[in-house]
Amino acid sequence: MIEPFVYYTPAAVAEAVQLLGQRSAKLIAGGTDVLVQMQEGLLSPEALVDISGIDALKGIREETEHVVIGAAATHHEVMEWAHNLPQYAALAEASGSVGTPQVRNIATVAGNLCNAVPSADLGAPVLLYNSSLTLASANGSRQLPAIEFFTGPKKTALLPGEMVLSIRLTAPPVGCASAYCKHGPRKASDLAMVGVAAMVGLDDNSAVTSLVIGLNAVAPTPILVQGCEQLVGQVMSLSLLDRCARMAAQQCRPITDYRAGAEYRRDMVGVLTKRALERCAAKLGKEVREDG
Amino acid sequence: MTKIHAAIVADTDQGVVGQSVPMVDACEKVTGKAIYGADVEMPGMLYGRVLRSPHPHAKILSIDAAEAQRLPGVRAVVTWADTSGELIGFSQYSDHYIFAKDEVRFVGDEVAAVAAVDEDTAHRALKLIKVEYEVLPAVYTLDEAMAPGAPLVHDVTPENIAHQITYSRGDVDAAFAKCDVILEETFETSPAHPAYIEPQACLAAFDAYGNADIYANTQSPGGSIREKTAQVLGLPLGKVRIHQTFLGGGFGGKVWQHIIPATAVLARKAGRPVKMMYSRREDLACTPSRVPMRMKLKMGADRTGRILAKETLVLADNGAYCINSPIVIDTAATRIENLYRFENIRTTAKLIYTNKVSTGTFRGFGNPQGTFMVESMMDMLAKELAMDPAQIRIVNAVHPGYVTAHGWKINSCELEQCIHEVKRISGWEEKRKANRFGYGIGMSCVIHVNGNRSCFPAFDGSTAYISMNESGEAMVMCAEGDLGQGASTVFAQIAAQEIGLPMESVRVLRVDTEYAGFAFGAFASRITVNGGNAVRHAAAAVRRALLETAAGMRGGDVDTFTIHQGIVTDGTGWSATVAEVSLQYIYAHAGTNLRCDGFFIPPDVVIADKVTKYGNISCAYSFAAHVAEVEVDKDTGKVEVLNYYAVHDAGKLINPMLAEGQIEGGVAQGIGFALYENYCYGTDGHMLNNSFLDYKLPTFKDVPKITTGFAQGCDPVGPMGAKGLGEPTIVPVASAIGNALADALGERITQMPFTAEKVKGVVRRVMAQAAKEGQA
Amino acid sequence: MDERHISFKVNGEAYALTVATNRTLLSLLRDTLKLTGTKYGCGEGECGACTVLMDGRPVNACLVLAVKADKSEILTVEGLADGGKLHPLQTAFIEKGALQCGYCTPGMLMSAYALLQGNHRPNDAEIADALAGNLCRCTGYQKIYDAVKEAAKVLYTEDGND
């Protein structure tokens, strides 16, 4: 059962942050994660503040250097928007792998981040874009780098009374493509056992102009693979894939639980890293070269 | 066959039998009008919920429900004390109560239940019931439960052995001595939940005279659960009435439902109707799964592939209580021994108590487990003998007229035809040449019963009646019921054809035990042969009576009259509608509708000997051969079933479309069973994956194209030559996929399910070995 | 207990009523409006048995608060048929044998309906994508592909739309 709560539907952000500051309130947009937890008795907030009706938080806005995903934007909207935008494909593919089509129609990207379970699909993709989150509370607003947002399993840097207004992505340089690879037991509707997001830029000679790799479900938070920038200038080759896979596998810190063993997860980080990079190259119309 | 039935006259080669007519109740289902278990309502209805044990094993010291009872809106709290207090269970294995008396034995064991004016109040009330427990040591695995000095799940059951059988046939030791090849392996199958999409649900009410009136999504409305409910209520059987609602799937999981007596006890105490529906989590964690087994098998063959000897030890995890598990393990041990011409067999099977949810029946009833073991071994022997896996099966296949080691009299049997046909449609010969690491093709066969005489000692068979209404419609009541598989449609087709009516003039009534006969219900793939024959006999009698009535109306020899498409004619140009004749019958009998009973007693069957398990338990046997093609992702270990082919011997088909549907659904369930369905437990006996998030059912994207086929056959006992098809469809799937996987990897995984992680481990080992050999 | 007054349409009929905020849309449809064609299967958005269309989009009624239905248009399985005339999807499901127990069927039909609104000629992959959130334990899905394609044919060739 869902314990009773007071339900608020603020029309503006100012009203929403006032409500969040006032009492033990939980914010919902799509509400798909929160409602399941409430049905299970894991959450019983005194109030729910539903921000899905706030116009300022809706939709996805493209600016010259940035893309702003509103806190009320659903996975479905992100999939539609990023369709045919190879540089944002990681987002579309991650959103497209969350839950079921029905869930994606109401669940939001921001909600996926705020839920902050290690398997959340949007974590690593958002990290690819040097993103920041615009947070607001009754005391004002602030920008927080996305990498600092995740502090542990189901834990974020949100202060009491604070909410996410939007996710602000830095537009990647021209000529980049991204991808999200996910591994689960089935072909649909699975939680990520491992998720790897990658973004690659290649010049005409298939030399790497930019490279970012993010990992889901193999650490307490989504993480970026460190040291990728040092690979800029190298040719997209099988040995480069191997090197990236090794780096990713070394840097992840998976656990063993009933869904998978830690060593298997580590192994899959390597496999999926290669696949994500290969897919990026393919989207750029480039082949991964044999070495030597 | 029994002689008292009316002669069966309809032409079986024409008419609606054999046609792919749509389900007779499909329109209700697509419009949302079908009333399922949780859709039933009654005025004044309360909502029930069960309080369950948080401990895997504990003594109940006290239960204090006073505070719960004081909560506004709560109308009743019940415990063991509100029942008759009798032990219930499967015949001599009765080992539990509907609410725990003084001990709980698994996390989820029923302790008490509440009825309240709404679900939220019932939920709150559960939290106010104070139960004092003394936690006892628990055992979770076969090894823990069988260890010397292990804590006992039931004090009265030494060594935690709930049930045990040992039998032998022929001279096993001498036969092994003659073998050219002998292999040994241990196989393990996982628990899997039937996972019908509609959780268990029930509404119970009592009339002013103390009669129970129950609506339930049960697949056995007249069967054992009605008897158990009467027992728990302390009522004579005749005072318990069960209406079968539409069922959102059953697959063996809705044969024996605690929710029915539990709701009835609540309704009696509350004095008002009570509805209860399990949550998905409750349903997965607290209702029986398939019985998981560890099976040690030694099998030997001569050079030609003829199996000479088989020795088996089956250990099965019963969980806390015996539901139907004793016959499930008997089935796992014996059934597969009738697929081939085994002559020398020695088998021991033990059912072991553990402190986990009780295990029981799920489509196949133990046969998928036994089949996984033997059909895997058949491929291992074929490989050792460098034989085609299809060939070793043909060499050993039973055939019509054969009497098996267990005394089963094989009547119609198209097993060889199934094997040849599945080879043809799958492109077996060509594809087997592929010989590419990561790709594999595998085969498995199955034998299954059409009813099991050993299930219920008192009798087996089925009953039905058909009543002709004023409009000439045949109202068919067969107490077996319909669990969603299409039994009503099959009954309607049989009745329409036998009487000579168009399909739209036949109505199949939903089962209400007040009006239906006594019947066991839909399990053991018994409906088509048993229920179908009962309906057919009733229909034949109706036809005869209609002809006699028409002859009385017109005058003349009854044998010159006939009925076709609802019109009675006598060959002279005279005709009357069946409606006119039915109405005439009513007038001529002071208002009595033309109503005929039919029944069917399976011929030539016996209850298998309790000790030796010998005896012909079914009047017909169904067969099939399946082929699976798999591709292994060598990086991740993920197994993809590329194509699946299934050819069944179900005799002459009543409805090819429904028959295909049975196969496609059974194969899809088998894919889940083979690849990912499993139970994960925490160290404290809690099920960790008790939701559809983590208990994985195959989705739209996970089921490949399934190509179905049927052997040309005709069963002498089945109605119009038909045999059952419900269970055999899932039985060989895990072994076909396992064999394909072994073909793909060159190494066999003997422990189900074949998860990506497990497969990856094998891939790594095989590739490392190959690399080593490459270097050498 | 917090309550809200909401007004919305279900299958074209307007409703205005007061609901407790902790109710789900599933409970509103089933328990209050007695539209029991929409089914409970898991309560967590995994099985799709409770799929309804909310302003044209398929959603899990078990994961939507009833108050969120305010000012929306809901379509349930009861609203598919036009009076006594079945929707072509319903007819195709019946004729192709795309159902057995029928419990997942209402949700399956709603997802298929939404698919066909936007795609008049779905191929197998598109059907699987659109229906991956609807679990069926009976049919193995095979005949559902046939039914959806058949319905598309009936819907979008008879009137010359495609």
The two structure tokens encoding residue A147: 């990498």
Whether omega for the bond prior to residue B753 falls within 30 degrees of 0, making it cis, is yes
CATH number of B26-33+461-600: 3.30.365.10
* Residue ranges of B 676-695 with Cβ closer than 8 A to chain A: 676, 680, 688-689, 693-694
Q: pLDDT for C24-79, tens place per residue?
A: 999 999 999 999 999 999 999 999 999 999 999 999 999 999 999 999 999 999 99
**Domain B417-446+617-776 in this protein, CATH class:** alpha beta
Mapped onto helix, strand or coil, the DSSP state of residue B772 is helix
pLDDT (0 to 100) of residue B457: 86
Question: Cα(C77)–Cα(C37) distance, rounded to whole angstroms?
Answer: 6
pLDDT (0 to 100) of residue B505: 98
DSSP β-bridge partners for residue B51: B112
Counting as contact any 3 or more CB pairs under 8 A, the partners of A are B, C
Query: Which residues in chain B are contacts of C10 at CB distance < 8 A?
Result: none
Domain-wise residue ranges, chain B: 26-33+461-600, 417-446+617-776
Task: Write the Ramachandran bin of B626: left for phi over 0, alpha for psi from -120 to 50, otherwise beta.
Answer: beta
What's the gap in Å between the CA of B60 and the closest CA on chain C? 31
Query: Which residues in chain C are contacts of B661 at CB distance < 8 A?
Result: 97, 100, 138-140, 143
Decide if B659 contacts B650 (C-beta within 8 A). yes
Please state the separation of Cα B690 from the chain's center in Å: 22
What is the layout of strands, in order, in the sheet containing C57-60? C13-20, C3-10, C73-75, C51-54, C57-60
The two structure tokens encoding residue B189: 């199958």
Q: pLDDT for B53-110, tens place per residue?
A: 999 999 999 999 999 999 999 999 999 999 999 999 988 899 999 999 999 999 999 9
Number of B–C residue contacts, CB under 8 Å: 180
Q: pLDDT for B103-142, tens place per residue?
A: 999 999 999 999 999 999 999 999 999 999 999 999 999 9
Decide if B505 contacts B543 (C-beta within 8 A). no
CATH fit for domain C3-77, picks 3.40.640.10, 3.10.20.30, 2.130.10.10, 3.40.50.2300: 3.10.20.30
The two structure tokens encoding residue A41: 């008795």
Do C88-155 and C3-77 have the same topology in CATH? no
Phi, psi of A51 (to 5 degrees): -95, 5
Pairing of β B705-710 and β B594-600: unpaired
Across the interface, whether the CB atoms of C143 and B249 are under 8 A apart is answered: no
Q: Which residues of A178-202 are buried (b: 16+ CB within 10 A; e: fewer)?
A: bbbbbbbbbbbbbbbbbbbbbbbbb
Phi, psi of B81 (to 5 degrees): -60, -20
Decide if B51 contacts B112 (C-beta within 8 A). yes
Question: Cα(A96)–Cα(B300) distance, rounded to whole angstroms?
Answer: 52
Is the pLDDT at C162 greater than 70? The verdict is: no
Across the interface, whether the CB atoms of B699 and A186 are under 8 A apart is answered: yes
What's the gap in Å between the CA of A154 and the closest CA on chain C? 19
Residue B125, CB half-sphere, CA atoms under 13 Å: how many?
28
Question: Cα(C136)–Cα(C122) distance, rounded to whole angstroms?
Answer: 20
Give the mean model confidence (pLDDT) for residues B148-175: 97
Across the interface, whether the CB atoms of C103 and B248 are under 8 A apart is answered: yes
With CA atoms as reference, the chain C residue closest to A186 would be C132
Across the interface, whether the CB atoms of B196 and C102 are under 8 A apart is answered: no
In eight-state DSSP terms, residue B56 is: S
Helix (H) or strand (E) holding B326: helix B325-334
Cα B85–B86–B88 angle (5° rounding)? 130
Tokens 């009570």 map to which residue? B274
Q: pLDDT for B293-317, tens place per residue?
A: 999 999 999 999 999 999 999 999 9
Q: Which residues of C19-42 are buried (b: 16+ CB within 10 A; e: fewer)?
A: bbbbbbbbbbbbbebebbbbbbbb
The two structure tokens encoding residue C127: 């059907």
Other CB atoms within 10 Å distance of the CB of residue B588: 13
Decide if B49 contacts B114 (C-beta within 8 A). yes
The two structure tokens encoding residue B200: 């268990």
Please state the separation of Cα B613 from the chain's center in Å: 21
Q: pLDDT for A86-120, tens place per residue?
A: 999 999 999 999 999 999 999 999 999 999 999 99
Please tell me which of the candidates C44, C101, C132 has its beta carbon nearest to residue B693. C44
DSSP β-bridge partners for residue A61: A68
pLDDT (0 to 100) of residue B5: 35
Q: Which of B660, B527, B684, A204 lies closest to C139 in space, CA to CA? A: B660
Helix (H) or strand (E) holding A66: strand A66-70
CATH number of C88-155: 1.10.150.120
User: Which residues, at least 6 apart from B142, have a Cβ–Cβ distance to it below 8 Å?
Assistant: B294, B315, B317, B352, B354
What's the gap in Å between the CA of B722 and the closest CA on chain C? 20
Give me the torsion for CA of A151, A155, A156, A157, rounded to 10°: -70
Q: pLDDT for B694-706, tens place per residue?
A: 999 999 999 999 9
pLDDT (0 to 100) of residue A22: 81
**A290–B contact, CB cutoff 8 A:** no
Please report which confidence band the pLDDT of residue C157 belongs to, taking 50, 70 and 90 as the band edges.
confident
Across the interface, whether the CB atoms of B195 and C137 are under 8 A apart is answered: yes
Chain A residue set in contact with C, beta carbons under 8 Å: 1-7, 9, 31-32, 35-36, 39, 48, 50, 52, 76, 99-103, 105-106, 187-189
User: Which residues, at least 6 apart from B356, have a Cβ–Cβ distance to it below 8 Å?
Assistant: B56, B106, B107, B140, B317, B319, B320, B679, B681, B685
Question: Hey, which bits of B170-303 come out as E strands?
Answer: 181-188, 201-206, 212-216, 240-244, 274-277, 289-290, 293-301
Please report which confidence band the pLDDT of residue B8 belongs to, taking 50, 70 and 90 as the band edges.
very low
Question: Cα(B203)–Cα(B766) distance, rounded to whole angstroms?
Answer: 56
Tokens 């001595």 map to which residue? B177
In eight-state DSSP terms, residue B531 is: I
Decide if A115 contacts A153 (C-beta within 8 A). no
pLDDT (0 to 100) of residue B458: 87
Give the mean model confidence (pLDDT) for residues B428-433: 97
Decide if B659 contacts B648 (C-beta within 8 A). yes
Where chain A has pLDDT below 70, the residues are 292
Q: In this prediction, what percent of chain C has a pLDDT beyond 70?
A: 97
Is the pLDDT at B225 greater than 70? The verdict is: yes
DSSP annotation string for B74-92 = EEEEE-GGGS----BSSGG
Is the pLDDT at B194 greater than 80? The verdict is: yes
CA dihedral sign, ordered B287, B288, B290, B294: positive
Is the pLDDT at B11 greater than 50? The verdict is: no
User: Which residues, at least 6 apart from B728, have a Cβ–Cβ distance to it below 8 Å?
Assistant: B364, B367, B446, B447, B448, B525, B622, B623, B624, B648, B666
Decide if B254 contacts B218 (C-beta within 8 A). yes
With CA atoms as reference, the chain C residue closest to A76 would be C57
User: Which residues, at least 6 apart from B93, have a Cβ–Cβ distance to it below 8 Å?
Assistant: B162, B163, B322, B326
Question: Cα(B741)–Cα(B761) distance, rounded to whole angstroms?
Answer: 13
Please report which confidence band the pLDDT of residue B1 belongs to, taking 50, 70 and 90 as the band edges.
very low
User: Which residues, at least 6 apart from A244, have a Cβ–Cβ distance to it below 8 Å?
Assistant: A211, A213, A225, A228, A231, A273, A274, A277
Decide if A234 contacts A240 (C-beta within 8 A). yes
Do B417-446+617-776 and B26-33+461-600 have the same topology in CATH? yes
Domain-wise residue ranges, chain C: 3-77, 88-155
Please report which confidence band the pLDDT of residue B480 belongs to, taking 50, 70 and 90 as the band edges.
very high
Decide if B294 contacts B363 (C-beta within 8 A). no
pTM of the model: 0.97
Give me the torsion for CA of B115, B117, B119, B123, rounded to 10°: -60
Please report which confidence band the pLDDT of residue B456 belongs to, taking 50, 70 and 90 as the band edges.
confident
Please report which confidence band the pLDDT of residue B461 belongs to, taking 50, 70 and 90 as the band edges.
very high
The two structure tokens encoding residue B73: 């809106």
User: Which residues, at least 6 apart from A226, have a Cβ–Cβ distance to it below 8 Å?
Assistant: A247, A251
Phi, psi of C68 (to 5 degrees): -70, -10
In eight-state DSSP terms, residue B751 is: B
Query: Which residues in chain A are contacts of C128 at CB distance < 8 A?
Result: 188
Give the mean model confidence (pLDDT) for residues B9-20: 71
User: Which residues, at least 6 apart from C94, have a Cβ–Cβ distance to it below 8 Å?
Assistant: B22, B23, B26, B27, B30, C86
Helix (H) or strand (E) holding B498: helix B487-499
Question: Hey, which bits of B33-129 come out as E strands?
Answer: 46-52, 58-64, 74-78, 103-104, 110-116
Query: Which residues in chain A are contacts of B675 at CB distance < 8 A?
Result: 185
The two structure tokens encoding residue B752: 């189900």
Decide if B252 contacts B365 (C-beta within 8 A). yes
